[in-house]
Structure 1
Amino acid sequence: MRPELIAYLDDNRPWQQEDIAADKLTCINYAFGKIAGLKIIPKLKKIQLINNLKRTYPHLKTCISIGGWSVDGFSDAVSTDHHRQIFVDNLVAYMREYDFDGIDLDWEYPGMDLAGIKASSADAQNFLLLVQLLRAKLTLFGQQDHRYYRLTAAVGAAQNLLVTMSPTTDYQYVDYLDYLNVMTYDMRGSWTKQAGHHTNLYSYATSTGQLSVADTVDRLVRNGVSPTKIVIGAGFYSRDWFGFDPQVSNPVGATASTYGTQATNYVDLQPLLASEPENFFWDDQAQAPYYFNGSQFSSFDNPRSMSAKAKYVLENNLRGLMFWEYSLDPSQTLLTAAAQEFVEKDNT
């Protein structure tokens, strides 16, 4: 089976139907549905463009992604059996209204108020109850609608972000999901002044260099998650740090004056990389590129790292590769690099 190649696509970004290379994708996670009490909002503006594409490319699936960073509402919506029943019914109705093929839950994160959202010690157990109920309802309506509805979840890469999702050490909630969209990006960034790769494939030798795509996959597999339920992530944007000691020659792991708060879309990064090739570097250990001009360090994905991630998916029999967010690279350079690896595998 060809690996999944999944794009997160923001309803609010400036893209048109012809911008979407549906032939290269297997699924689009449409972002975002948000929670208002027990209801799902807003009215989506551009989903009809994607539904038009599905008629031309019937292999293409779509999931509505619910939540996102700093989006509140999950904890209250799943806090009681009564709330969960109403919330799930509204969620499924919203999915069917827009002709989605499934639901992607993007609760960042159960039991943690890291993003300024409400959190409870009961969140992990209630998340498990949510996916159990939602899987049952999707199966029921799938039988009525003569189609299969997917259920997936976006999860963090770091150990504490994975642990908080589950009330048990065996990640029981994964049993009810088709796969996990593992957010192996922003692994370093806005909370630290120590510059580092934010979406690196492998660990590297600095004090904070352990976290990587491979490290996270290994942890999931050790906890009983099948590789066929793991979709790794790529970032179509950089994390940027500024202000380094003039003596710094290798910025990876060095301390900057700023936190890695700033992000630059790949479309805006490309001219800089093209005009200053002498400031572009490849970290062979991390299998990750970076830009460094003495005062700015930027970590990002490029075609070479996308190819490396796609090959890693194939070599480890993972479910696939996803990325945030499609419109950040309208040139399709990054998407094409990954798609070519998967197509070449199909042709062998």
Structure 2
Amino acid sequence: MIKLTPSLVLIWLIGCTCVVQGQQKAQQQTNVSKKVTVAYVTSWTSVMPDPAYITHINYAFGHVNNDFNGIRIDNESRLKSLTDLKAKYPKLKVLISIGGWGSGRFSEMAALEDNRNKFAEDCLRVINEFKLDGIDIDWEYPTSAAAKISSAPEDTQNYSLMMKAIRNKIGTSKLLTLASVADAKYVDFKTIEPLVDFVNIMTYDMGNPPNHNAGLYRSKYTGWISVDEGVTAHVKAGMPLNKLVLGIPFYGHGKNGVANFIDYKEVVKLNGFKNQWDDEAKVPFLENDKGEFVCSYESPESIAIKCSYILSRGMLGAMYWEYGGDTEDGVLRKAVYSGVNK
């Protein structure tokens, strides 16, 4: 029997401490590795994304076909060029995003069981044909005709049935995600929560100057909602924080000499404007020589703060629209990636 001397006890305690610290460090590394950075990449741009700074690509877009029972894909060769990246980066996930603003025929498709099932079958066909990792649904928005598309009061219920049909058909090994309006309306999240892997919250387009595009917190320049309020709305609607991905715009909104929609790579080229910072909303904006708020946009500084917010709330990661809006050297995408992987 070994006699426990003070020295042996000390050695034993040090050893236990090292084991615990090692386990904690491993857990921290695991948590970091689970953070996602989702880049929407569009069919109408040609820039190739750098997989070193992203975990998921959402290809925009596919659409519900004219027969309401399948998928039509924009620029299929562009999609294939993205999935080809997986040969060198096998951990990269590529999904097709079906929908987008003004993309209709969802209401008719989701209304009938036969259409839903055939659409789900075509989701599986597209996954297999293009070697995809899943489906992202971007129906904007069930029950609303604001995008000049068909709608019906039953859309929300039928949305849930559509997601169930897709999940049943593609199985659990493939991803099923969705893009959601900031205030969490239009979708029954409690019903679809078990079906989906995560939700990309479109926490942008929250206002035009003199309101912020994507203010993190409420300030005098907040429009209808803030980013923080949008996240909270999704939690209240039934989605856990670890399934929520925060949307970040790589573009701004302008007026009085600045384009209404302007990519960040063009914002940084603007001359004759004064950079301002809203310390309540935690975002920058531009003023003209008259002192007017003329452009709301995102910067590496505001992205860093948003990423700290993601980590502090225990969210799954960040998403951005869209990759082509960044500068050639990737100032914003690098800020997103480093921010969620602190």
Pairwise TM-score range, normalised by the shorter structure: 0.7 to 0.9
Task: Output aligned runs, 1:3-18, within 5 Å.
Answer: 3-15=35-47, 17=48
* 2:309 is the alignment partner of 1:290: no
Report the alpha carbon displacement of residue 209 of structure 1 after superposing the two structures with TM. 4.2
Q: What does residue 221 of structure 1 align with?
A: 235
Q: What does residue 40 of structure 1 align with?
A: 71
Q: What does residue 17 of structure 2 align with?
A: none
Q: What does residue 341 of structure 1 align with?
A: 339
Report the alpha carbon displacement of residue 48 of structure 1 after superposing the two structures with TM. 2.6
Gaps of 5+ in 1: 143-147, 244-259
Matches of 2:92 and 2:263, distance apart in 1: 25
Report the alpha carbon displacement of residue 56 of structure 1 after superposing the two structures with TM. 1.2
Matches of 2:158 and 2:318, distance apart in 1: 28
> In 2, are the aligned partners of 1:33 and 1:66 still within 8 Å (CA)?
yes
Matches of 1:266 and 1:232, distance apart in 2: 18
* 2:311 is the alignment partner of 1:311: no
Letter in 2 for 1:223: A
Letter in 1 for 2:216: L
Equivalent residue of 1:198, what SS? coil
Task: Output aligned runs, 1:178-257, within 5 Å.
Answer: 178-189=197-208, 195-205=210-220, 208-209=222-223, 211-242=225-256
Equivalent residue of 1:90, what SS? helix
TM-score under structure 1 normalisation?
0.83
Letter in 2 for 1:281: Q
Matches of 1:80 and 1:238, distance apart in 2: 39
Matches of 2:259 and 2:335, distance apart in 1: 27
Matches of 1:219 and 1:78, distance apart in 2: 25
- Write the deviation string for residues 21-66 of structure 1: whole angstroms up to 9, x where unpaired: 2011010001100111222113512123222221111111011000
TM-score under structure 2 normalisation?
0.84
Q: What does residue 326 of structure 1 align with?
A: 323
* 2:171 is the alignment partner of 1:163: no
Equivalent residue of 2:57, what SS? strand
Q: What does residue 25 of structure 1 align with?
A: 54
Matches of 1:100 and 1:115, distance apart in 2: 28
How many residues are paired up?
A: 304
* 2:301 is the alignment partner of 1:269: no
Matches of 1:319 and 1:8, distance apart in 2: 17
Structure (1 or 2) with the larger CA radius of gyration: 2
* 2:175 is the alignment partner of 1:153: no
Matches of 1:114 and 1:210, distance apart in 2: 16
Matches of 2:293 and 2:340, distance apart in 1: 34
Matches of 1:104 and 1:289, distance apart in 2: 30
Q: What does residue 246 of structure 1 align with?
A: none
- Write the deviation string for residues 185-230 of structure 1: whole angstroms up to 9, x where unpaired: 10113xxxx6200111111135x54611111111222233210110
Report the alpha carbon displacement of residue 98 of structure 1 after superposing the two structures with TM. 0.9
Matches of 1:34 and 1:220, distance apart in 2: 26
Matches of 2:337 and 2:253, distance apart in 1: 24
Matches of 2:223 and 2:204, distance apart in 1: 14
Q: What does residue 173 of structure 1 align with?
A: 192
> In 2, are the aligned partners of 1:11 and 1:45 still within 8 Å (CA)?
no
Equivalent residue of 2:286, what SS? strand
> In 1, are the aligned partners of 2:38 and 2:54 still within 8 Å (CA)?
yes
* 2:79 is the alignment partner of 1:60: no
Task: Output aligned runs, 1:30-179, within 5 Å.
Answer: 30-36=59-65, 37=67, 38-42=69-73, 44-139=76-171, 148-158=173-183, 162-166=184-188, 171-179=190-198
> In 1, are the aligned partners of 2:39 and 2:319 still within 8 Å (CA)?
yes
Matches of 1:205 and 1:91, distance apart in 2: 44
Matches of 1:46 and 1:223, distance apart in 2: 36
Report the alpha carbon displacement of residue 296 of structure 1 after superposing the two structures with TM. 6.0
Report the alpha carbon displacement of residue 171 of structure 1 after superposing the two structures with TM. 3.0
Letter in 2 for 1:41: R
RMSD between aligned alpha carbons?
A: 1.9
